[in-house]
Structure 1
Amino acid sequence: MTEPQPAFFKPSPVSPASFPAFPDRLARLLSPLRTFAVSLAVVVLAGCASSNSKLGLPDDPVLSTSPSATQPVYPGGPLSPIHSAQTPSSAVASLQPPADLWERIRRGFAMPDLQGELVTDREQWYASRPDYIQRMTERSSKYLFHIVEELERRNMPTELALLPYIESAFNPQAVSSAKAAGMWQFMPATGKYFDLKQNAFRDDRRDVLASTRAALDYLQKLHGMFGDWHLALAAYNWGEGSVGRAIARNKKDGLGTTYMDLRMPDETRLYVPKLQAVKNIVANPQNFRAELPLIENHPYFQQVQITRDIDVALAAKLADVEISNFKALNPSAHRPVILAAGMPHILLPWDNAKIFQRNFEAYSQGQYASWTAWTAPATLSVSDAAKRVGMSENDLRGVNNIPPRMLIKAGSTLMVSRSAKMDNDVTSHVADNAQMTLAPEIVTRRSTVKARKGETVASIARRYGLSADAVAEWNKVGASAAFKLGQQVVVFLPVKAVSAARPRSGKAGVQAVSRAPGKAGVQAVKRAPGKTVIKTKKR
């Protein structure tokens, strides 16, 4: 059964005679499409030739080799290639790292140059001392890479890496007459402000990492205050308050407020010229006949964690480095032991870090530390303290730097010998807060006093301002013992200084005579207030 077809569908019979006409009809239908395709191909090829011309490339060989080919015509005329000189370009960062650290420092110079006679004078001073420059730069080779890394991380001028040359000649153990310490020369109060610990066992003003962090923090703070690196450096040397007052004075007087305009002490006046002179020598050493030692552009040291208190000498031995090099990298440890609770990391030369870790884990020859901390329970003489800790007086004085005729005040923490049975390391509280306080030793004299009715060891101690334990020890009795009425009690009392007699009014003053054996003496006689007559006498 066939399906009925729609009314509009009327199939016509196809005869064999109609087949030859089918290709002609198909050709007529496809003729417009062929014409469009040819046109499209011409346009595409012309576009390709145009693109090649824009890029400065040769024309398509298919088009250029055809003898009948003609150059296409463009509305604006024929296109010409763009030459390289016409294209904008920008500097491309070199992928090659600097050959040495000096070149890396030069690339980061960003401070304005200071010029003048003071700079020239300092250039000549340094250039005339090649041995000094050599020692100074060789010493800096341990620390410069770390400082440059920190400066670049903070986007600060790399000239500042040269500042320790001016401050301390890169000596982390340097101490000034004003008690500034370390490579960056921090005063005690400024160091505490920037969280540099200073206690009986370490001084972070000397620490390589901690002091560098604090110095760059301080310089950034000063630059933020004054908006000028030269003024920031002046404030680093002279104090921010002093620089601020100098600027205020100049503003009031209608004067300039740059570094060279301010009135300042000679030391500060020469401070930036010194840095500029060193910068100029580093920038062009050949101009000053200077030779800078090679400092390779890679880290000199790395941090190594320690988990136990350890002697400085043993740590250096386990790391296979000389004790002087170990102390140069860990200068904050100014005692013969490193306390892990307060200083959990040490710095070692890059290649020695793994050696230390391997030897530290394999060490089996006893304790790592032969020293520990001890806190004085009362004010003691050095001899009494030495007896309590089982050391000689000389050894206790030496390891704790106690001068003669000084007492150890109660609460002071001392370094003492560690017994073989002691397993515990020093706690973090003691390692971070230990202080040693000394007091002048008072000259005493043995005396006896009579006990009053009902007098005890405690009442005798209170009467004379003494320790009850001391009174009991002197009299071989217990601390709670009582004395009989009139009993002789031994006490050691301070010797009172005999006051000098005052000169009587209306008479000649006091004569002071200084004579050396066999030589003429000098006699100074005070005749009247404010006047002194000097006489020479022959003996």
Structure 2
Amino acid sequence: MLKKLSVAVAAALLASCAVPTSQDKTAGSAEDQYQTSASDAPIQDKAATAQQVANALLRHNSPLEPDAELAQYDNLWQRIADQMTLTVPDNDDIESQKQFFIRNQKLLKTASDNAEPFLYHIVTELERRKMPLELALLPIVESTYNPKAGSFSGVLGIWQFTQGTGRNFGLKQNAWYDGRRDVIESSRAAMDYLQYLYSNVDQDWLSAVAAFNAGEGRVFKAIERNRSKGKPTDFWSLNLPKQNTSYIPKLLALAELLKHPEKYAIPMPMLANQPQTKVIQINRGLDLVKAADLLNLRVAELRRLNPGFKTTTVPSASYPLVVPFRSADDIDQQIAALPKVKVAPVASTGRYQVKSGDSLSKIAAAHKTSVKALQRANNLNSSQLKIGQLLTIPGLEQPDEPVVTARTAKKSNTLASEGQTYTVKSGDSLWEIGKKLNVSTEQLSNWNKLGTTAQLKPGQKLTYYSESKPQTTAAAKSMTYKVRPGDSLASIAQRFKVKVADIVKWNNIKTNMYLQPGQELTLYLTS
């Protein structure tokens, strides 16, 4: 039987940990009620307790003041390396994983670039909670810090949360937003979950990480089996599947390489030891297009910082919004002053478990919604269902019609200037260069025929194009168009009398990209 988290353990956990964020979570809201699936069964008996622990952690602790010594580091990765404490034993599996990462150093560069806007926040929270800094490497193993990473099993985000576990630890999931892809929120939830697991696996961080990856039930049972036989219960003594016996070596291999880069002739990634972003709370409907304009950002960049949002219009609710650290101190007040956005409500009618003979069209008809609304609410890329699968049922929508918002914007059909050249400096990344030049990473990649993970070399020449100031004489009405089956950029441009090049520019997409039914495009139509 799975052991329950005792009051004593919970108290000890609270006494030893500091708060991750200032956001308080309230368990048991109507939005977060759900039916636990078979795949989430190991946590079912503990769900309420786990949420109570997470809530208590947030309520009863206060943030620590920044450590002056930690602020002296130039490189954030070095700050992590110098504080790592987990023992790395001599182990063939660990050695094998080290050799893998040495051969595939581009993975580390990709992960560092993906992590740049968020890593300072994650490191600071781990330090506040007095958790091992090796855990900052866990998203490299899980997803290379890609918030859009997912799998056929339904896990999402840099921490690869399932729907059920995400909801247990306060991650909202609805038709507009998925907290599993929100890097800040999912990191808070991941740390809560890891602390919860740590308190239930004899305070062994490696066993806690193994349970995070494979499910707590499997690890708890392995510990109980060893205990009943009088065997040690540390991670290395447990009988676990091969998946776990390679997962932990990956983490420890990364830790060893980061600790001793000179020993393995592998360059340490470089990230400035300073915050890149900050989080503000919004409690209203929000148009991300207008918010991006206010922040002097491209919409694509704001969405990169806020991957939890599924659309550019967010209904009236409470959500965290990640903005560049350089944003004005009163940016939350400026955003609050933007015109309110009215979004057709999508009221959740609960959860539905798929039965034999079900199809999306049958389920949609029974719940008075649409197939596309079901797909969007559940992140489904196809119509295939599995018996026992849980679906979130959204309210009635008309997804085939363009969603036009009553907002006006200055037409953004700007004219590109002549190409200019940027010379790469030591330590530069596409993300950093894009910020300097006020262009997106994707644009830099396209203009120079590079992958977004391309290795840059000092002295390398990059071509970029700046835009002339927007034409202010022609007012345009902005609208969001949902792509239908059979649509192409050309057919959409012809229908709305705009240019393909403008659609590409407004939405920061590639001309050879296949459009997906349900995909949303922002268009600007001359009044």
Using the size of structure 2 for normalisation, the TM-score is: 0.53
The corresponding residue for 2:299 is 323
State whether residues 275 and 325 of structure 2, in contact with CA within 8 Å, keep that contact through their aligned partners in structure 1: yes
The corresponding residue for 1:286 is 262
Question: Alignment partner for residue 192 of structure 1, among 167, 187, 196?
Answer: 167
Q: Deviations over 1:388-421 (max 9, x none)?
A: 99xxx99989987898999x99972547635649
State whether residues 247 and 262 of structure 1, in contact with CA within 8 Å, keep that contact through their aligned partners in structure 2: yes
State whether residues 304 and 353 of structure 1, in contact with CA within 8 Å, keep that contact through their aligned partners in structure 2: no
Aligned pairs (5 A) from 1:396-415? 412-414=395-397
Worse overlay, 367-376 or 130-139? 367-376
The corresponding residue for 1:245 is 221
The corresponding residue for 1:219 is 194
The corresponding residue for 1:149 is 124
Paired with 1:302 and 1:131, the residues of 2 have a C-alpha distance of: 28
State whether residues 302 and 348 of structure 1, in contact with CA within 8 Å, keep that contact through their aligned partners in structure 2: yes
Alignment CA distance shift 1:242-1:306 (3 Å): closer
State whether residues 314 and 343 of structure 2, in contact with CA within 8 Å, keep that contact through their aligned partners in structure 1: no
Alignment CA distance shift 1:381-1:167 (3 Å): closer
Residue 83 of structure 2 corresponds to residue 100 of structure 1: no
Question: Alignment partner for residue 272 of structure 2, among 285, 293, 296?
Answer: 296
State whether residues 172 and 183 of structure 1, in contact with CA within 8 Å, keep that contact through their aligned partners in structure 2: yes
Paired with 1:230 and 1:376, the residues of 2 have a C-alpha distance of: 38
State whether residues 374 and 415 of structure 1, in contact with CA within 8 Å, keep that contact through their aligned partners in structure 2: no
- Following superposition, the deviation at residue 368 of structure 1 comes to 5.4
Paired with 1:331 and 1:257, the residues of 2 have a C-alpha distance of: 39
Question: Alignment partner for residue 272 of structure 1, among 229, 232, 248?
Answer: 248
State whether residues 173 and 181 of structure 1, in contact with CA within 8 Å, keep that contact through their aligned partners in structure 2: yes
Paired with 1:341 and 1:275, the residues of 2 have a C-alpha distance of: 37
Determine helix, strand or coil for the equivalent of 1:297: coil
Determine helix, strand or coil for the equivalent of 1:372: coil
State whether residues 285 and 342 of structure 2, in contact with CA within 8 Å, keep that contact through their aligned partners in structure 1: no
- Following superposition, the deviation at residue 120 of structure 1 comes to 0.5
Q: Deviations over 1:130-150 (max 9, x none)?
A: 222111111111111111111
Unmatched tracts of structure 1, length 5 or more: 1-92, 422-539
Alignment CA distance shift 1:180-1:307 (3 Å): closer
Aligned pairs (5 A) from 1:20-31? none
Paired with 1:319 and 1:353, the residues of 2 have a C-alpha distance of: 9
State whether residues 114 and 273 of structure 1, in contact with CA within 8 Å, keep that contact through their aligned partners in structure 2: no
Paired with 2:115 and 2:392, the residues of 1 have a C-alpha distance of: 40
Q: Deviations over 1:467-517 (max 9, x none)?
A: xxxxxxxxxxxxxxxxxxxxxxxxxxxxxxxxxxxxxxxxxxxxxxxxxxx
- Following superposition, the deviation at residue 176 of structure 1 comes to 2.1
The corresponding residue for 1:373 is 345
Aligned pairs (5 A) from 1:64-103? 97-103=72-78
Paired with 1:410 and 1:342, the residues of 2 have a C-alpha distance of: 21
Paired with 1:410 and 1:235, the residues of 2 have a C-alpha distance of: 30
Paired with 1:290 and 1:217, the residues of 2 have a C-alpha distance of: 33
Unmatched tracts of structure 2, length 5 or more: 1-67, 350-359, 385-390, 408-527
Worse overlay, 229-238 or 299-308? 299-308
- 2:159 partner letter: W
Paired with 1:124 and 1:229, the residues of 2 have a C-alpha distance of: 24
Paired with 2:172 and 2:283, the residues of 1 have a C-alpha distance of: 20
- 1:152 partner letter: E
Aligned pairs (5 A) from 1:436-447? none
Alignment CA distance shift 1:381-1:220 (3 Å): closer
Paired with 1:288 and 1:302, the residues of 2 have a C-alpha distance of: 35
Q: Quote the sequence identity (%).
A: 32
- Following superposition, the deviation at residue 198 of structure 1 comes to 1.2
Aligned pairs (5 A) from 1:6-85? none
State whether residues 223 and 232 of structure 1, in contact with CA within 8 Å, keep that contact through their aligned partners in structure 2: yes
The corresponding residue for 1:349 is 324
Paired with 1:155 and 1:409, the residues of 2 have a C-alpha distance of: 36
- 2:94 partner letter: V
- 1:412 partner letter: G
Residue 288 of structure 2 corresponds to residue 312 of structure 1: yes
Q: Deviations over 1:297-339 (max 9, x none)?
A: 1111112344542233332233222333322221111123122
Paired with 2:247 and 2:404, the residues of 1 have a C-alpha distance of: 47
Q: Deviations over 1:35-54 (max 9, x none)?
A: xxxxxxxxxxxxxxxxxxxx
State whether residues 372 and 418 of structure 1, in contact with CA within 8 Å, keep that contact through their aligned partners in structure 2: no
Paired with 1:182 and 1:148, the residues of 2 have a C-alpha distance of: 18
The corresponding residue for 2:137 is 162
Paired with 1:322 and 1:280, the residues of 2 have a C-alpha distance of: 38
The corresponding residue for 1:258 is 234
Give structure 1 regions of 4+ aligned residues with deviation exceeding 6 angstroms.
Answer: 393-406, 408-411
State whether residues 110 and 157 of structure 1, in contact with CA within 8 Å, keep that contact through their aligned partners in structure 2: yes
- 2:148 partner letter: Q
The corresponding residue for 2:94 is 119
The corresponding residue for 1:15 is none
Using the size of structure 1 for normalisation, the TM-score is: 0.52
Question: Alignment partner for residue 207 of structure 2, among 212, 216, 231?
Answer: 231
Q: Deviations over 1:432-485 (max 9, x none)?
A: xxxxxxxxxxxxxxxxxxxxxxxxxxxxxxxxxxxxxxxxxxxxxxxxxxxxxx
Greater Rg, structure 1 or structure 2? Answer: 1
- 2:321 partner letter: I
Worse overlay, 312-321 or 275-284? 312-321
The corresponding residue for 1:201 is 176
Q: Deviations over 1:56-103 (max 9, x none)?
A: xxxxxxxxxxxxxxxxxxxxxxxxxxxxxxxxxxxxx95872222122
- Following superposition, the deviation at residue 257 of structure 1 comes to 2.6
The corresponding residue for 2:438 is none
State whether residues 314 and 368 of structure 1, in contact with CA within 8 Å, keep that contact through their aligned partners in structure 2: no
Paired with 1:410 and 1:166, the residues of 2 have a C-alpha distance of: 32
Aligned length, in residue pairs: 316
Bigger RCO of structures 1 and 2 (CA < 8 A, at least 6 apart): 2
Paired with 1:188 and 1:411, the residues of 2 have a C-alpha distance of: 16
Aligned pairs (5 A) from 1:406-425? 412-414=395-397, 417=403, 420=406
- Following superposition, the deviation at residue 342 of structure 1 comes to 3.4
The corresponding residue for 1:130 is 105
- 1:288 partner letter: Y
Paired with 2:175 and 2:70, the residues of 1 have a C-alpha distance of: 48
